[in-house]
Chains A and B, each alone.
Chain A
Amino acid sequence: MRLKKLFLLSLVLCLALSATALAQTQITFWHAMSGELGNAIDYLTEKFNAENPDIVVESIYQGRYGDLNTKLVASLSAGTTPTIAQVYENWTDAFFRHGVIAPLSHYMDLTEAEFNDYIEVFRGMNTWDGELYTIPYNKSNWVMFYNADLIPNPPETVEEFLQIAKEITEQTNGETRGFGIRPTLELFHAFLYVNGGDFLDADLNVTFNSPEGKEALELMIGMLEDGSALLIDGYENESFGDEMIAMYIGSSAGMPHVENSVGDKFQFKTAPIPRGKRPGAPFMGTNIALFNAATEEQRHAAGKFVKFLTNTENTVYFAIKTGYLPVTYSGLNSAEYQQFLADNPHKAAVANLDAFGYGYWQPTIAAWEEARSAIGMAVERVFLGEPIDLVLEEAQMMVEEAIEDMLSQRY
């Protein structure tokens, strides 16, 4: 009798256990976040799993962005994709063209108000085929970091910027240069855009090989020649912290590193990138994509998880912990985030509301991976002393070829 009871009891237990096991939906999230970011995402994942006993999310660090991309490409060819992953826009475009991702927003039960709560610039970066395919996650913008001990009032226009950079170099007898130039595509883009230009137009025609592009490069070269700027390699925050330069333009995501290298040597602040013919604030960072291989249950579970990651409370938590931006208006305007900005005035420009009005971003096409390396190389060659006209001409040809390849499906 006792044995029978025991048997029944164990049977019931087994059934109960398998029922919960069956009801649980497993999803995986591949990302490239380590350090503070990794801690923040681990915390949010645990919190979500605790609140949703029917879903198990596994967040897996897959190395840096390049490694993550390699791993995603490998997993696509082997059919072992994760449910969701962190992606750059040009990866999304390649995935979209190959038909291997699904529109994540379809599985998030977004009300119109919730949809519109995602900051417009970020929605723009995540829209394919008129749909919000991917969801913005760790977004940053580029701002100007400046030494507030040397520069009480940051420059608002390019003319003021050139003037101040020159003055700083003169004041310090060249000990501290006004500006730090790391020859990157991003810095070129910053000066190109405020000069009224861009890399490509809406029809994917190359527009950087133009008077605007030449002037942007000449402006930077001119600053090196008259000594108001210093050419740097390595991370800008290091030369900045070491007082070799008084200003640089860089990613808001680098904030913790700037704080580290500056220490208590001087006060630093952030300001918008000075405006030229027009203002401009570049936005960057990654988004979350949903892969086709996921089952219907997994898609809905992933939608729920991403909605949770980007809700007001959690997007603010992530922003405060990491230096990235809240991805929603409600997050940006929340009392908690506004208080955080008030407590950390050096971060004010990072979440400057005006910037969202004139935000721009790099082309989101699959061919961009190849195109950006061609343009990046061109910028480096200009700083090695090669003639600007020739270098831009060659870069234009390479970019056009990459885009043609993509459009003719040979990509």
Chain B
Amino acid sequence: MYAVLIAGALVMMLPFVWMVTSSIKAPHEITLRTIQWLPAVPQWENYKVAWEAAPFDIYFKNSFIIALTVMGLDVVFSALAAYAFAKLNFFGKNFLFLLFLGTMMIPGEVMLIPNYITMVNFGWIDTYASLIVPWTVSVFSIFLLRQFFLSIPNELFEAAILDGCGKFAYLIKVMLPLSKPALVTVMLFKFIGSWNSFLWVLIMTNTPAMRTIPVGLTYFVSDVGAYYNYLMAASTFAMAPILILFLLLQKQFIQGIARTGLKG
């Protein structure tokens, strides 16, 4: 059993190990036909070159501001909406929920240009507003939280109401503490999604001062070739924050996936 799991873990880790070792290789070592795990001489300066190829200090600052704000606002709005869909009764509830789900079927690319025009009309181009506000409500987050909330027995709700607890207080005092794994899952998904967002950021901004890390990663790739060693170095420092966040929240994350029935 453990042997299988360890083998699985190794297979999953391989791309990451390869990324990190490639990040310290010399250019001609990257595409060798025979597998070479470690570079002859570690090229640590790849990290320096990669860091200086684009204004990554600004990009990191922006990525953090945007991803953290989006994550925070999204979890608040999603929890409220999911609570309404899961536990409250109101006219047209199921229809509205279907409508919400329906929007998940429309590919984002289709809406890119209409959304751009909206942002231009709002005067939000090249501001944090265009990078944050449209992403603070996510149907996927609402769906995931609703499924989790549904699994919390209604008896708890009735007992709390009988004891004089308001509906909003019940959400804050009972539902949310019980739903930590799902909340963490939603937050992680949202953070990663926002952290990796590329086309939206590129289209909505015009100055390096407003851009984020994925825009910086394109500096290393062109139509005629790629600087893989620098790209891997940049990818390594670009994904470090996500990795750290995941390690910190790993336990809740796994529970969240397992208990909402989302695992494959």
Interface residues of A (CB under 8 A from B): 28, 34-35, 38, 60-65, 67, 70-71, 73-75, 77-80, 235, 237-239, 241-244, 250-251, 253-254, 256-258, 260-265
- What residues of B have a CB within 8 angstroms of the CB of A258 in the complex? 225
B199, B215, B220: the one contacting A35 at CB < 8 Å is B220
Docked Cα-Cα span, A264 to B29, in Å, equals 11
Docked Cα-Cα span, A260 to B31, in Å, equals 10
Contact status B28-A235, CB under 8 Å: no
Contact status B27-A38, CB under 8 Å: no
Considering only CB atoms, which chain A residue lies closest to B121 in the complex?
A: A78
Known contacts A35-B220, A74-B116, A250-B224: A261-B199 contact under CB 8 Å = no
Contact status A263-B27, CB under 8 Å: yes
- What residues of B have a CB within 8 angstroms of the CB of A77 in the complex? 113, 116-117
Q: Which 10 A-B pairs have the closest CB atoms?
A: A257-B225, A263-B28, A254-B224, A260-B27, A238-B31, A34-B219, A78-B120, A74-B116, A78-B117, A253-B224
Docked Cα-Cα span, A64 to B220, in Å, equals 10
Contact status A64-B112, CB under 8 Å: no
Interface residues of B (CB under 8 A from A): 26-28, 30-33, 53-54, 112-113, 116-117, 120, 125, 199, 202-203, 206-208, 215, 218-227
New A-B contacts (17) at CB < 8 Å, excluding given A61-B219, A64-B221: A28-B206, A34-B219, A35-B53, A61-B208, A63-B202, A63-B215, A70-B199, A71-B203, A77-B113, A235-B225, A235-B226, A239-B31, A250-B224, A257-B226, A257-B227, A261-B225, A263-B28
- What residues of B have a CB within 8 angstroms of the CB of A62 in the complex? 202
CB distance from A244 to the nearest CB of B (A): 6
CB distance from B233 to the nearest CB of A (A): 14
Considering only CB atoms, which chain B residue lies closest to A39 in the complex?
A: B53
* A63, A73, A77, A242: residue with the most chain B Cβ atoms closer than 10 Å: A63
Docked Cα-Cα span, A238 to B224, in Å, equals 11
Contact status A261-B207, CB under 8 Å: no
Docked Cα-Cα span, A138 to B210, in Å, equals 27
Known contacts A74-B112, A74-B203: A38-B219 contact under CB 8 Å = yes
Contact status A35-B219, CB under 8 Å: yes
Considering only CB atoms, which chain A residue lies closest to B207 in the complex?
A: A60
Considering only CB atoms, which chain A residue lies closest to B215 in the complex?
A: A63
- What residues of B have a CB within 8 angstroms of the CB of A65 in the complex? 223
B117, B207, B223: the one contacting A64 at CB < 8 Å is B223
* A65, A241, A264: residue with the most chain B Cβ atoms closer than 10 Å: A241
